[in-house]
């Protein structure tokens, strides 16, 4: 197996043991990006000299010499973030950011910037100033968003791990669509320093997208600035909610998730409990309103009137519409947030995690991002945020774990959500689920990323 | 006038009131957006949460 095909942790271990030369790994990674990225548009910029400088100066850290991708959402010392867009309301500049510093101090080597959905305003990845990223499992399908590039680059094994951000499912949805594990950390537990919305966001967090939970644990430890201990999730109490998030779901997704919940229960010696959680639909619009107004930070009528001509017509219209969100609805959204946080706090006294599909249907076509659900055809964005918004609204951690494939060969995924600060438990549960299915889903790769044999 | 069903009128008028210009493409996008957002906003507004204590300056990294 080539070094690029090793897991994030195995790359780090092999470099530390002297079995892999990090300079050779960097060169091989850049070569692979050149070979595979044109079909994916996952990485929008590489900077080999900067990467080599990072490697030359890399300290002995947990990711010493390991190549990673970072989403186009944070500045780097040599590049300002573009947020997948032609223009932002706030001026940005090339500078250090929290995720950059965390990666640098861990010894990691940033090899590229990952594509993303324009302005972070979508869960499909089909709109970007760089053009859409493509799903490695089917390049005519959406990779998910807004962390489209981090997901596609990791699923295609351009790198073994990437840093994304999640404000309304933006790590979990692309992880689900691309067959990865993606962690949306507890609010404020991972670094957001240097993000242009850091001062105003109450929903967005940075987080890892990797092939499996152990790699997510490693990368999350770097982003958290603390080592996340591993446990076994023994006796896991799993809450199942009989609401639209688990009922209005395509049959293959539902079947795979129900099987996964059952196998997780068996693996951990735990139990499944049906728990009430009303008002999820209201929580969804509350989360949507909050992020849509927070993302207007810096917007003035003059700036809105002079949006860059290369901002997509869709986001131009939506941006203007957002300027009219009724203040009373925002007050109501905050009241609902308080109510849902109390409900979740009470619920997490009864169960350790709650589980429902990360997305209600597998990745839709890039040219028609709609999904077919029991309730009818629905825009994928609308369907996906229903499953994702609660964790962002309340601040709780959530993880997406691959649990199977559709008849079309597209990944299916289960979401687990836990109480505040119990990110480690989610990783433990994800690893238990991997054990339960003999790592079948986390070891699978899209055809274009099949393991290349080393040369004789 | 059914307010929830006339985005062609009230959305451009509302934006005009705050000095934002719209063209016909904007109006078409906003009409589709309105169709998705507005019923959910109305549902949120209709929830009776008078008895719900607000959480002032919540620490979202912790349980309330």
Going from the N-terminus, what domains does chain A have, and what CATH number goes with each?
3-449 (3.90.1300.10)
pLDDT at A199 (0 to 100) = 87
Helix axes A423-436, A213-224, angle to 10 degrees: 170
- Shortest distance between the Cα of A36 and any Cα of chain B, in A, equals 35
Q: Are A158 and A37 in contact (CB under 8 A)?
A: yes
A71 is catalytic: yes
pLDDT at B1 (0 to 100) = 42
- Which positions ≥6 away from A346 have C-beta within 8 Å? none
A273 and chain B: CB distance < 8 Å anywhere? no
- Residue A187: name the closest of A87, A113, A287 by CA: A287
- Which positions ≥6 away from A412 have C-beta within 8 Å? A176, A252, A253, A256, A257, A357, A362, A402, A403, A404, A405, A406
Chain A residue with CA closest to B28: the answer is A317
**Which residue carries 């009230």 as its tokens?**
B10
Q: In this predicted model, what pLDDT tens digit does every residue of A177-191 receive, in sequence order?
A: 999 999 999 999 999
Strands ordered across the beta sheet of A398-405: A43-45, A109-114, A67-71, A161-166, A205-210, A181-184, A398-405, A411-418, A353-357, A237-240, A271-274
Contact: B58, A341; criterion CB under 8 Å: yes
Torsion A253-A255-A261-A264 (CA) sign: negative
Q: How far is CA A156 from the centre of its chain?
A: 15
How would you classify the pairing of strands A398-405 and A411-418? antiparallel
pLDDT at A90 (0 to 100) = 85
A312 is catalytic: no
Q: Are A65 and A185 in contact (CB under 8 A)?
A: no
State the DSSP H helix or E strand holding residue A114, giving kind and residue range, or none if neither.
strand A109-114
**Which residue carries 């979202």 as its tokens?**
B60
Contact: A317, B62; criterion CB under 8 Å: no
A379 and chain B: CB distance < 8 Å anywhere? yes
In this structure, what token pair is assigned to residue A380? 């994928």
Q: How many helices (H) and strands (E) does chain B have?
A: 2, 0
Contact: B30, A320; criterion CB under 8 Å: yes
Q: How many CB pairs under 8 A join A and B?
A: 120
Contact: B43, A285; criterion CB under 8 Å: yes
pLDDT at A89 (0 to 100) = 85
pLDDT at A100 (0 to 100) = 98
Domain ranges of chain B: 3-45
DSSP state letters, A215-270: HHHHHHHHHHTS-------TT-EEEE--SHHHHSS-HHHHHHHHHHHHHHHHHHT-
pLDDT at B7 (0 to 100) = 64
In this structure, what token pair is assigned to residue A272? 């499944």
Q: Are A267 and A429 in contact (CB under 8 A)?
A: no
Q: Whole-angstrom Cα distance, residue A345 to residue A338?
A: 11
**Which of A186, A282, A305 is opposite residue B43, by nearest beta carbon?**
A282
Give the pLDDT band (50/70/90) at residue B6.
low
Q: Whole-angstrom Cα distance, residue A331 to residue B56?
A: 12
A119: left (phi over 0), alpha (psi -120 to 50) or beta: left
pLDDT at B5 (0 to 100) = 53
Contact: B30, A333; criterion CB under 8 Å: no
Catalytic residue (choose from A97, A128, A147, A170): A170
pLDDT at A91 (0 to 100) = 85
Say what the alpha-carbon torsion angle A367, A371, A376, A377 is, to the nearest 10 degrees: -10
Q: In this predicted model, what pLDDT tens digit does every residue of A214-266 receive, in sequence order?
A: 999 999 999 999 999 999 999 999 999 999 999 999 999 999 999 999 999 99
Q: In this predicted model, what pLDDT tens digit does every residue of A24-82 receive, in sequence order?
A: 999 999 999 999 999 999 999 999 999 999 999 999 999 999 999 999 999 999 999 99
Q: In this predicted model, what pLDDT tens digit does every residue of A213-223 receive, in sequence order?
A: 999 999 999 99
A435: left (phi over 0), alpha (psi -120 to 50) or beta: alpha
A170 is catalytic: yes
| pLDDT of B4 over the 60 cut | no
Mean pLDDT, residues A95-110: 98
Q: Taking the CB of residue A54, how many other CB atoms lie within 10 A of it?
A: 23
| pLDDT of A86 over the 90 cut | yes
In this structure, what token pair is assigned to residue A397? 């951690």
Test the B interface: residue of A203, A288, A311, A321 with most B CBs within 10 Å: A321
Q: Indicate the DSSP class of residue A119.
A: G
Q: Taking the CB of residue A188, how many other CB atoms lie within 10 A of it?
A: 16
Contact: B63, A420; criterion CB under 8 Å: yes
Query: With pLDDT > 70 as the criterion, what percentage of chain A qualifies?
Result: 99
Q: Whole-angstrom Cα distance, residue A207 to residue A183?
A: 6
State the DSSP H helix or E strand holding residue A34, giving kind and residue range, or none if neither.
helix A22-36
Q: In this predicted model, what pLDDT tens digit does every residue of A365-407 receive, in sequence order?
A: 999 999 999 999 999 999 999 999 999 999 999 999 999 999 9
Q: How far is CA A38 from the centre of its chain?
A: 22
Instruction: Name residue A161's beta-bridge partners.
Output: A210
pLDDT at A352 (0 to 100) = 98
pLDDT at A456 (0 to 100) = 46
The region of weakest confidence among A104-108, A169-173, A320-324 is A320-324
pLDDT at A404 (0 to 100) = 98
The region of weakest confidence among A326-330, A423-427, B4-8 is B4-8
| pLDDT of A451 over the 90 cut | no
Q: Are A106 and A222 in contact (CB under 8 A)?
A: yes
| pLDDT of A139 over the 90 cut | yes
Q: Are A380 and A155 in contact (CB under 8 A)?
A: no
Q: Are A335 and A289 in contact (CB under 8 A)?
A: no
- Shortest distance between the Cα of B41 and any Cα of chain A, in A, equals 7
Catalytic residue (choose from A51, A146, A206, A244): A146
A304 and chain B: CB distance < 8 Å anywhere? yes
**Which of A318, A323, A345 is opposite residue B29, by nearest beta carbon?**
A318
Contact: A284, B40; criterion CB under 8 Å: yes
Q: In this predicted model, what pLDDT tens digit does every residue of B9-64 receive, in sequence order?
A: 788 889 999 999 999 999 999 999 999 999 999 999 999 999 999 998 899 999 99
Instruction: Name residue A68's beta-bridge partners.
Output: A110
| pLDDT of A455 over the 70 cut | no
């Amino acid at each position: 197996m080539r070094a690029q095909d090793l897991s994030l942790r195995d790359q780090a271990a092999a470099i530390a043991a002297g079995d892999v030369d990090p300079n050779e790994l960097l060169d091989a990674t850049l070569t692979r990006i050149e070979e595979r990225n044109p079909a994916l548009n996952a990485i929008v910029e590489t900077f080999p000299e900067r990467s080599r400088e990072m490697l030359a100066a890399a300290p002995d850290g947990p990711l010493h010499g390991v190549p990673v991708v970072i989403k186009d959402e944070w500045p780097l010392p040599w590049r300002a973030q573009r947020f997948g867009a032609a223009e932002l309301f706030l001026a940005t500049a090339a500078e250090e950011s929290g995720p950059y510093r965390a990666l640098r101090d861990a010894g990691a080597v940033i090899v590229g910037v990952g594509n993303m959905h324009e302005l972070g305003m979508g869960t499909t990845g089909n709109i970007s100033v760089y053009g859409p990223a493509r799903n490695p499992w089917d390049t005519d399908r959406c990779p998910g968003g807004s962390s489209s590039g981090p997901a596609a680059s990791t699923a295609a094994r351009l790198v073994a791990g990437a840093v994304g951000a999640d404000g309304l499912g933006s790590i979990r949805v692309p992880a689900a669509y691309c067959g990865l594990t993606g962690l949306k950390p507890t609010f404020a537990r991972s670094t957001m320093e240097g993000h242009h919305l850091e001062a105003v966001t109450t929903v967005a967090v940075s987080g890892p997208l990797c092939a499996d939970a152990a790699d997510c644990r490693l990368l999350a430890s770097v982003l958290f600035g603390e080592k996340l201990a591993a446990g076994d999730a023994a006796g896991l109490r799993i809450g199942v909610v009989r609401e639209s998030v688990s009922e209005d779901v395509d049959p293959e997704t539902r079947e795979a998730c129900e099987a996964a919940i059952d196998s997780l229960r068996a693996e951990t010696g735990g139990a499944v409990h049906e728990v009430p959680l009303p008002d999820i639909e209201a929580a969804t619009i509350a989360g949507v309103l909050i992020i849509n107004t927070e993302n207007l930070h810096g917007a003035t009528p003059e700036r809105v009137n002079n949006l860059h001509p290369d901002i997509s017509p869709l986001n131009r219209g939506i941006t203007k519409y957002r300027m009219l969100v009724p203040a009373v609805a925002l007050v109501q959204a905050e009241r609902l947030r308080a109510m849902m946080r109390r409900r979740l706090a009470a619920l997490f006294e009864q169960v350790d995690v709650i589980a429902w599909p990360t997305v209600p249907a597998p990745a839709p076509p890039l040219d028609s991002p709609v999904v077919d659900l029991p309730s009818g055809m629905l825009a994928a964005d609308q369907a996906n945020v229903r499953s994702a918004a609660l964790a962002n609204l309340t601040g709780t951690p959530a993880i997406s774990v691959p649990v199977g494939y559709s008849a079309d060969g597209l990944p299916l995924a289960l979401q687990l959500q836990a109480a505040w600060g119990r990110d480690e438990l989610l990783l433990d549960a994800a690893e238990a689920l991997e054990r339960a299915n003999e790592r079948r889903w986390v070891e699978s790769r899209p055809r274009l990323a099949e393991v290349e044999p080393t040369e004789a | 006038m059914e307010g929830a069903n006339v985005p062609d009128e009230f959305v451009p008028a509302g934006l005009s009131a705050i000095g934002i210009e719209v063209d016909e493409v904007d109006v078409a996008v906003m009409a589709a957006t309105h169709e998705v957002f507005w019923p959910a906003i109305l549902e949120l507004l209709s929830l009776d949460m008078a008895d719900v204590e607000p959480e002032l300056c919540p620490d979202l990294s912790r349980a309330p």
